[in-house]
Amino acid sequence: MRNMLVAVIMVLSSALSAQVGNHQNVLDANTASEKELVALPHMTATLAKTIVDRRPFASIKDLDALLKGLTPQQRAELYGRLFVAINLNTAPREEILLIPGVGARIAHEFEEYRPYKMLAQFRKEIGKYVDQKEVARLEEYVFIPINLNTATDADILSIPGMGQRMLHEFKEYRPYKSMEQFRREIGKYVSKQEVARLERYVTIN
């Protein structure tokens, strides 16, 4: 019983500190496997391969441009299962509006409470306008960049595709003095494209 309680506390602590929304139903377009992509609505084998070949996508706008062959309705249905998460503090409104079910009113509320420091703040503020189930759904589409020098293990591991090896490398070079240092050090282990993908989720301040 005690072990179960400890496990629950660890999960809750992780959820509170994680700065990337919990992806339970929405795949990350930059890390999903080709097999996972093919299984999605309106996806063909050719399109799935093109997505894999073109990534990483710097933003959902880049993915949306690639998918212009699909109708707006088809893209909206696909984005219910696949997305490139948006930065809560910097995403332009056109990116926010690509989140399925988000209209001008909720997009305004996303912007109203910037800058976000923690996802808990997002949950509290957006929870004034929609129920908790909808807040949880919206959270799957967003992130707040983590501080490279102070982020917890849980914060770092919330980045899509992050594992224990890269967690170690992220922490190995602390304190970071600049993003150029981050690119140089992490670039020893992954491609420039992967460094660019990871860089979206981090900051130094």
Whether residue 117 is found in the same domain as residue 25: yes
What's the pLDDT tens digit per position in 104-147?
Answer: 999 999 999 999 999 999 999 999 999 999 999 999 999 999 99
pLDDT at 15 over 60: no
Structural domain count, the chain: 2
Domain assignment present for 130: yes
How far is Cα 200 from Cα 202, in angstroms, rounded to an integer?
6
Q: How high is the mean pLDDT of the chain?
A: 91
Give the pLDDT mean for 161-183.
Answer: 96
pLDDT in tens, 75-114: 999 999 999 999 999 999 999 999 999 999 999 999 999 9
- The answer to whether residue 186 is domain-embedded is yes
**3 located within any domain:** no
Query: What is the amino acid identity at position 129?
Result: Y
What sign has the CA pseudo-torsion 14, 15, 17, 20?
Answer: positive
**Co-location of 137 and 172 in the same domain:** no
> Same domain for 23 and 90?
yes
Residue 47 belongs to a domain: yes
Q: Are residues 159 and 64 in the same domain?
A: no
Q: Could you identify the residue written with the tokens 């139903």?
A: 25
Same domain? For 191 and 90 the reply is no
Domain of 100, in residue numbers: 16-143
Residue 153 in domain: yes
State mean pLDDT over 155-177: 95
- Given 128, 143, 158, which residue is the final one in a domain? 143
Contacts of 169 (CB under 8 A, 6+ apart): 185, 186, 188, 189
What pLDDT is recorded for position 18?
A: 55
Q: What is the mean pLDDT of residues 165-176?
A: 97
Query: Is the per-residue pLDDT at 204 higher than 80?
Result: yes
- In a shared domain, residues 129 and 153: no
